[in-house]
Structure 1
Amino acid sequence: MRVGRWLPAAGALASVLALTAVPTPAEARAATGRCGDPARRPWCDKGLTPDRRTALLLPRMTADEKIAMLASDDPFGGPLGGFSEDAHADTNSGIERLGIPPLYMADGPAGVRQGKATALPAPIALAAGFDPNAARLYGGTVAWEARHRANDLVFGPTVDVLRTPRNGRTFEGFGEDPYLSATLGVPWIKGAQAQGVMTSVKHMAVYTQETDRLSLGMNVDQRTLREIYLPPFEAAVKDAGAATVMCGFGRLNGRWACQDDAALGKILRSEWGFTGFVPSDHTAAQDTAGAANGGLDMELPIGMKYNAFLLKLAVAQKKVTQATIDAHVRNILRTMFRFGVFDRQAYPNDLTRIDRAAGQSAARQVEEGGITLLKNDGVLPLKGPASIALIGRAAQQSPSGFGSAKVVPFTTVSAQDGITSRAGSGTKVTYNNGDDHRDAADAARGADVAIVFATDSQGEFFDKACLTLECGEPLRGDQDGLISEVAKANPNTIVVLNTGGPVLTPWAGQVKGIVEAWYPGQEAGTALARVLYGDVDPGGRLPVTFPVNENDAPTSGNPAQYPGLNKNTTFSEGVMIGYRHYDANGIAPRFPFGHGLSYTTFAYSGLVATSKAVQVTVTNTGQRTGIAVPQLYIGMPSPGVEVPQPPKQLKGYAKVTLGPGQSAKVTFPLTPRSFSYWNQAAKAWKVADGCYKVMVGASSRQISRSAALGACRRR
């Protein structure tokens, strides 16, 4: 039974204590949290450091109690009960004898997966916002709801850098660029942990596909590891102070992810200074001694490898030392002390304390900021058409990914509801499910504007077989064909994509408008309608590249790279993933990384570049207020043929709202790391001699201003 579960919130307790001359026993217990009386339990003294408190507590624990701390021990979800959707994801019951409180955990990269919750737009939509403030709002919203569902820790954010757009969990991450992933992950974590909930950034160190994920061998050179896949985790630890770092599946260069001392010990702890604890993804632990010696602190979902029998046997056989077990327990206790878990009452499971209006507002803001206008031949914003034909099942749904990031929403506003409400009584809005192309074309033909909704299917456990809309969506039929037929019937056809990542758009030249709305969350219809009608400017820019053809995408056509041969994949592309791949190989994308249109236009001027900062002036040259997302890229010199550099790398971005004729001076701070590459021989970051090209523009393929730094020849 969870002690003190239904006690008042901390603020209410403070008020009571301030007015009561002699505290009751219950109030005294509340004042000292769940730990107890410091006179009897010295580790309960809040005036001591987490390290000191841990040092006092650890020797008081028995061998069995220590082992009990190293795994989730309640597969039935804790006091919320059973395998119901209302249960916690994981629970460690703590040690009541010593005042060690239970630890309750929830899935949460896209919202709390525990009963109903605010269904935020998919993290890929947040990434499209290019907005750290939105990331802080997102993390704070998730954590606030996790807290009021009685959780101490939330599994999120997911910062795995996208290697292949076929990845089934593309929607769950922040796209194909490590800098973007890092700079969104940090405020997400800070926003969440400011709510008093610990985060678990995932999945350390490399996790790029669902195919064979449990057993996949990944061969990655150190430069690629350091420059592409590790930066978001490094930033999460160094800049955000993430409480925990979750290890994932598969083998990195021969070592299982959850027992890889090279990553979890040498890099994470020794090099980055991480002092939190490392939980495993569910069932990712492979071997008792290997995990204990390799850096895993807590096994999830239960102690299959971390249990009393196997750990005591490993100690008896001298495969694991007692000091190693103590170190893992120390990491867990120190983190719980650091985040005040001992010093407060248990968070209540109380849905009435969740501010649903605030969650609704956050979901709408994030979606509006991430909706990306890919094409507009003058059809948008809508100018009060007399009739609108909505076509496609997604118009009545709110598509989402499946798996551990699946959220059951409190409420949902469909696109049909949102557009109908915004259009008003003077506009006739009709709906056709699109199953019959002829019927859909007829419906479109009779309307001023036709909006076709198309979606893909994405989620945990399975990769996409291909990048067409039909792959993985047989129940929706030939969506590409549907779009073409509707476009023939109505010259004012707009396509709204509800996808978790890049898809092929062979009909792009046939339609007047293309809007990428991602998996839009519970405020799908409200946000989309506001963007379509121009109440707000479309704020999104692509965090992923959309290819023209299937084989244009990274890792396409090379089975050794993806999906792998004999359950082994070689990252022979090195750092050339995402837009780097397209640039390095001279491949024209359909829509490039960073692309996204506004309802106004912008000009860039006054570029000034130094090694410490780049400054540029952005001016709204149109007639409407709009959102600009200037992006800074740097082209770095190759120190040798063995270290090829991509033509450009994202090193900064900003998001500014400007009225007609208004200008803003944008500054992108730079550090030596901005110009560094990983030198494998030196095992260190180095700045190469040579000429650095500084580029600023609206996307990776729309560079407006450039300058040179370093040793550059003048022509």
Structure 2
Amino acid sequence: MTAWTRLVVGFLLPQLLVASPVPDAAPDSVKVEQRDDESVDYQSPPYYPTPHGGWVSDWAEAYEKAYQVVSNMTLAEKVNLTTGTGFFMGPCVGQTGSAPRFGVPNICLQDSPLGIRNSDHNTAFPPGITTGATFNKELMYERGVALGEESRGKGVNVQLGPAVGPLGRKPRGGRIWEGFGADPVLQAVGGAQTIKGMQSTGTIASMKHFIGNEQEMYRMSSIITKGYSSNIDDRTLHELYLWPFAEGIRAGVGSLMTAYNDVNSSACSQNSKLLNGIAKDELGFQGFILTDWLGHYSGVASALAGLDMCMPGDGAVPLFGDSYWGSELSRSILNGSVPVNRLNDMVTRIVATWYKFGQDKDYPLPNFSTNTQDETGPLYPGALFSPSGVVNQFVNVQADHNVTARAVAREAITLLKNDQGILPLRRNDSLKIFGSDAGGNSDGLNSCSDQGCDKGVLTMGWGSGTARLPYLITPQEAIANISKNAEFHITDSFPSDVTATSKDIALVFINADSGENYITVEGNPGDRTAAGLNAWHNGDDLVKAAAQKFSNVVVIVHTVGPILMEEWVDLKSVKAVVVAHLPGQEAGNSLTDVLFGDYSPSGHLPYSIPRSESDYPDSVSIINQPFGQIQDTYTEGLYVDYRHFINANITPRYPFGHGLSYTTFKFSNPTISEATALDSAYPPARPSKGSTPVYNDSIPSASEVSWSSTTFTRIWRYLYPYLDNPQSITASNDYPYPEGYNTTQPEPRAGGGQGGNPAIFKTAFTVQVQVTNNGARKGKAVLQLYVELPSSLGLDTPSLQLRQFEKTKELAPGQSETVTLEITRKDVSVWDVVAQDWKAPVNGEGVKLWIGQSVADLPIVCVVGGQCSFA
């Protein structure tokens, strides 16, 4: 298959043709609807000009180095670093041009958040949703380090992750498994820890998707379609969807990727309020902002709105050799439609980030190809004629990362039910195993491109957020390695000839899959449209058939998100339910670690599991509207997942944060102390910005981008910054910049540092709880702290909101650990849409802090200004 064919069939065609409507055979419970929602009031206000980077002290050295380079660059070199070279025009999924005079190479950008996509000798880690289920900050960081080490080893400059959007607002959204869970704090901690780990190795993390990309269908604009508009009010944006991005920026993330969709009627990649106003000004983002692939929809508008890099560089239709930037950006600089100072800031942000993470010091060049697994091949497969050479050096970057991958998958395993203590299993138990999800892909490992199928054990969803499995330990293999009394039926149809005795234990494996919109799997175009929240491959029927035959049934679920269990969870024979999430390459080993009792389960649900899909608000359904722009208005506001269930007085089947253990824990001696006084409703005044680089902003000589001045062989379809006869371009003195472009914006009062005003991140209260393992087995406990804000704030606020969590070390029976939970000013604040600042109750009056093991199990309450007690 040629590069062009793969592009059209695999990515571009689904975007141009739009997702197919829901099949007629979709079950009645499926919530996919056409909604004509008039939302004319949701308009994103303009915010100009783009704030320059470099004013944060942590970045000062990197910006000084960048200044020395950028101040001597030609126009061609500057444009080269902002524009991708084109689809399939290099070894990586995307790469910029280079500035070899200054040692700046083509910057390689490569998926994915769980490993190096389309590579070899790499690790396929558990994805974000599994990592979130661990509630283990140290493992989140350790996994980030391993991801960064593998990226660096392959020569990837920017790894496209972590994903903290989508948040999981839509339970059937195709890519919620790439993020860390349906809560902004869980997402924020998972994202920030991953970023710190990745960037400790010199790899630049790219946090995505900014923002409001909560369903796959109709997400993307093209020459014939318009991506949906996520219409989000200011308070909801700040308190839910922006929260994890703010924490990632606070952690120093180097890159931010925009989403495909509109937000409040303005495309994310050219939304000046989001990019200039919020990311770069209010949140003090110092790195560079890039588009998602083919999510670049304009030239001048996106540059002025704060975009710094376009990926993969192509214009409306890829592989035509044109771009909204590239030579057109050169033209825009020469004719004055894009100010030189905007281009200087774009390039400075990119080069400063390159310096910030030490990529000028012996950082490897790419030694792999995302386009082929062959050792040699075309260097530019998107070109009609391309030079060839070695494209894959097969560098092994796995090290001992399988240990980390196994630990993450193991600590995420969430025990929902364990009647009569049927788990852990004994090694001599008589086991009967059912379900294709226990086995491997019958077509072979990695036989489905980007994991675009559901065959065998579900290790990850599908799409660009995947990686090739270097190997796979299936549950079947792992169980067989331990048990000599296991009988396997790797089928999704219950065999009629199976015999059962009272001593037999049936292990039934089921799953639920989803992924990215450019691949449709079993009628599901990314989002779970045809499948709904039900198990795939008639999994419910398989469980019920086993429960009718056997008196002891254990259900193991691999799933991308919430899955309905009502048809079988209360059956007498169903003794245990285990959610193993998406385990990556160590699927079997991590599972048997827990099933056979070598480790106690310590995972907790990163989302709620409902009793019925109708328990969710209608506004979070997948919208199927083939014509016209979808207006997806967030009418549920702050009430997503457990916030909604509590507010609507709906008891889910299993609440957010729920997870059992083989042992039990006792909480004692809770205390609360004040750290930084909340002596005012609003935080102290923000610090002023530091200085930023100052350049000569005169329009450069046209000869700097003239084709006549070049001496290299031109590659057809490769995107260059050069123009024919640029001397004919004249600058206009009255170019109509957007209103207010040449003014100076006042410094946002909520800003002042990376992530916002540093004052909001100071610890306000500290809670300590002693945790004792009072059971018979070793295990780890997870403490979750939820904030209850007082009605005196005068705003409709969810009654409980997760604000902190910690996981203990492994405690032996009788062993104790004192856990410390720190709460910041921001944690007890609401976003004041009038003041445009975070507002907290003065002195924390009326604030209650609830501590426990899930949102529905909170035995400790601490009253600010008072004491802690057992509720």
Q: Kindly indicate whether residue 476 of structure 2 is the aligned counterpart of residue 323 of structure 1.
A: no
Aligned to 2:729: none
Task: Note the C-alpha offset of 1:645.
Answer: 1.0
Match of 2:561 among 501, 508, 511: 501
Task: Note the C-alpha offset of 1:539.
Answer: 1.9
Alignment check: 8 A CA contact 1:602 1:620 kept = yes
Counterparts of 2:837 and 2:545 in 1: how far apart (Å)? 56
SS in 2 for 1:65: helix
Aligned to 1:100: 104
Distance change (3 Å), C-alpha of 1:273 and 1:617: same
| Cα root mean square deviation, aligned | 2.6
What one-letter code is carried by the residue in structure 1 that aligns with 2:78? Answer: K
SS in 2 for 1:148: helix
Counterparts of 1:640 and 1:654 in 2: how far apart (Å)? 28
What one-letter code is carried by the residue in structure 1 that aligns with 2:198? Answer: A
Match of 2:492 among 435, 446, 464: 435
Q: Kindly indicate whether residue 390 of structure 2 is the aligned counterpart of residue 390 of structure 1.
A: no
Alignment check: 8 A CA contact 1:389 1:449 kept = yes
What one-letter code is carried by the residue in structure 2 that aligns with 1:374? Answer: L
Give the stretch that moved more between structures: 496-505 or 294-303: 294-303
* Cα deviation 1:76-108 (Å, max 9, x = unaligned): 252x4xxxxxxx211123122343222112102
Q: Kindly indicate whether residue 401 of structure 2 is the aligned counterpart of residue 248 of structure 1.
A: no
Distance change (3 Å), C-alpha of 1:173 and 1:445: farther
Task: Note the C-alpha offset of 1:555.
Answer: 4.1
What one-letter code is carried by the residue in structure 1 that aligns with 2:811? Answer: L
Distance change (3 Å), C-alpha of 1:345 and 1:600: closer
Aligned to 1:599: 662
Aligned to 1:128: 133
Counterparts of 1:391 and 1:563 in 2: how far apart (Å)? 40
What one-letter code is carried by the residue in structure 2 that aligns with 1:648? Answer: L
TM-score norm. by structure 2 comes to 0.71
Aligned to 1:17: none
Aligned to 1:23: none
What one-letter code is carried by the residue in structure 2 that aligns with 1:170? Answer: I
Task: Note the C-alpha offset of 1:436.
Answer: 2.8
Alignment check: 8 A CA contact 1:561 1:570 kept = no
Aligned to 1:171: 177
Counterparts of 1:469 and 1:676 in 2: how far apart (Å)? 34
Counterparts of 1:623 and 1:393 in 2: how far apart (Å)? 35
Aligned to 1:532: 595
Aligned to 1:263: 274
Give the stretch that moved more between structures: 178-187 or 462-471: 462-471
Q: How does 1:557-576 map to 2 (within 5 A)?
A: 566-576=629-639
SS in 1 for 2:186: helix
SS in 1 for 2:670: strand
Alignment check: 8 A CA contact 1:70 1:328 kept = yes
Alignment check: 8 A CA contact 1:130 1:629 kept = yes
Q: Kindly indicate whether residue 852 of structure 2 is the aligned counterpart of residue 697 of structure 1.
A: yes
Alignment check: 8 A CA contact 2:172 2:533 kept = no
SS in 2 for 1:156: coil
Counterparts of 1:432 and 1:382 in 2: how far apart (Å)? 19
Counterparts of 1:557 and 1:412 in 2: how far apart (Å)? 35
Counterparts of 1:526 and 1:267 in 2: how far apart (Å)? 44
SS in 2 for 1:224: helix
Alignment check: 8 A CA contact 2:290 2:309 kept = yes
Counterparts of 2:501 and 2:244 in 1: how far apart (Å)? 48
Aligned to 1:43: none
Q: How does 1:675-690 map to 2 (within 5 A)?
A: 675-688=828-841, 690=845
What one-letter code is carried by the residue in structure 1 that aligns with 2:492? Answer: D
Alignment check: 8 A CA contact 1:391 1:450 kept = yes
* Cα deviation 1:149-208 (Å, max 9, x = unaligned): 221110110011221111100111011111111111111111111111111011113221
Q: Kindly indicate whether residue 585 of structure 2 is the aligned counterpart of residue 522 of structure 1.
A: yes
SS in 2 for 1:52: helix
What one-letter code is carried by the residue in structure 1 that aligns with 2:434? Answer: I
Give the stretch that moved more between structures: 562-571 or 542-551: 562-571
* Cα deviation 1:296-344 (Å, max 9, x = unaligned): 1110012424434432443455432222122211111111122222332
Total equivalences in the alignment: 650
Q: Kindly indicate whether residue 245 of structure 2 is the aligned counterpart of residue 184 of structure 1.
A: no
SS in 1 for 2:847: strand
Task: Note the C-alpha offset of 1:520.
Answer: 1.1
Alignment check: 8 A CA contact 1:68 1:307 kept = no
Q: Kindly indicate whether residue 505 of structure 2 is the aligned counterpart of residue 449 of structure 1.
A: yes
Q: Kindly indicate whether residue 38 of structure 2 is the aligned counterpart of residue 64 of structure 1.
A: no
SS in 2 for 1:694: strand
What one-letter code is carried by the residue in structure 1 that aligns with 2:570? Answer: G
Q: Kindly indicate whether residue 533 of structure 2 is the aligned counterpart of residue 380 of structure 1.
A: no
Aligned to 2:822: 669
Runs ≥4 in structure 1, deviation > 6 angstroms? 557-565
Alignment check: 8 A CA contact 2:294 2:314 kept = no
Aligned to 1:11: none
Q: Kindly indicate whether residue 693 of structure 2 is the aligned counterpart of residue 651 of structure 1.
A: no
Distance change (3 Å), C-alpha of 1:561 and 1:271: farther
SS in 2 for 1:703: coil
Task: Note the C-alpha offset of 1:387.
Answer: 2.0
Counterparts of 1:549 and 1:585 in 2: how far apart (Å)? 14
Q: How does 1:170-569 map to 2 (within 5 A)?
A: 170-214=176-220, 215-238=227-250, 240-304=251-315, 305-315=323-333, 318-347=336-365, 349=367, 354=396, 356=398, 358-377=400-419, 378-397=421-440, 398-399=457-458, 400-423=460-483, 427-439=484-496, 442=498, 448-461=504-517, 462-465=526-529, 468=532, 470=534, 473=536, 476=537, 478-506=538-566, 507-510=568-571, 511-555=574-618, 566-569=629-632
Task: Note the C-alpha offset of 1:640.
Answer: 5.7
SS in 2 for 1:595: coil
Distance change (3 Å), C-alpha of 1:561 and 1:74: closer
* Cα deviation 1:336-358 (Å, max 9, x = unaligned): 12222233253463877645351
Counterparts of 2:851 and 2:646 in 1: how far apart (Å)? 16
What one-letter code is carried by the residue in structure 1 that aligns with 2:804? Answer: G
What one-letter code is carried by the residue in structure 2 that aligns with 1:217? Answer: S
* Cα deviation 1:351-372 (Å, max 9, x = unaligned): 7764535121111111011011
Counterparts of 1:123 and 1:564 in 2: how far apart (Å)? 33
Task: Note the C-alpha offset of 1:492.
Answer: 1.1
Distance change (3 Å), C-alpha of 1:294 and 1:133: same
Q: Which runs of 5+ in 1 are unaligned?
A: 1-46, 81-87
Counterparts of 1:418 and 1:555 in 2: how far apart (Å)? 42
Distance change (3 Å), C-alpha of 1:673 and 1:561: farther
Counterparts of 2:110 and 2:425 in 1: how far apart (Å)? 41
Distance change (3 Å), C-alpha of 1:411 and 1:212: same
Counterparts of 1:119 and 1:59 in 2: how far apart (Å)? 42
Task: Note the C-alpha offset of 1:407.
Answer: 1.3
Task: Note the C-alpha offset of 1:420.
Answer: 1.0
Task: Note the C-alpha offset of 1:638.
Answer: 3.1
Task: Note the C-alpha offset of 1:65.
Answer: 2.2
SS in 2 for 1:136: helix
What one-letter code is carried by the residue in structure 2 that aligns with 1:677? Answer: V
What one-letter code is carried by the residue in structure 1 that aligns with 2:278? Answer: I
**Between Structure 1 and Structure 2, which shows a larger proportion of helix residues?**
1
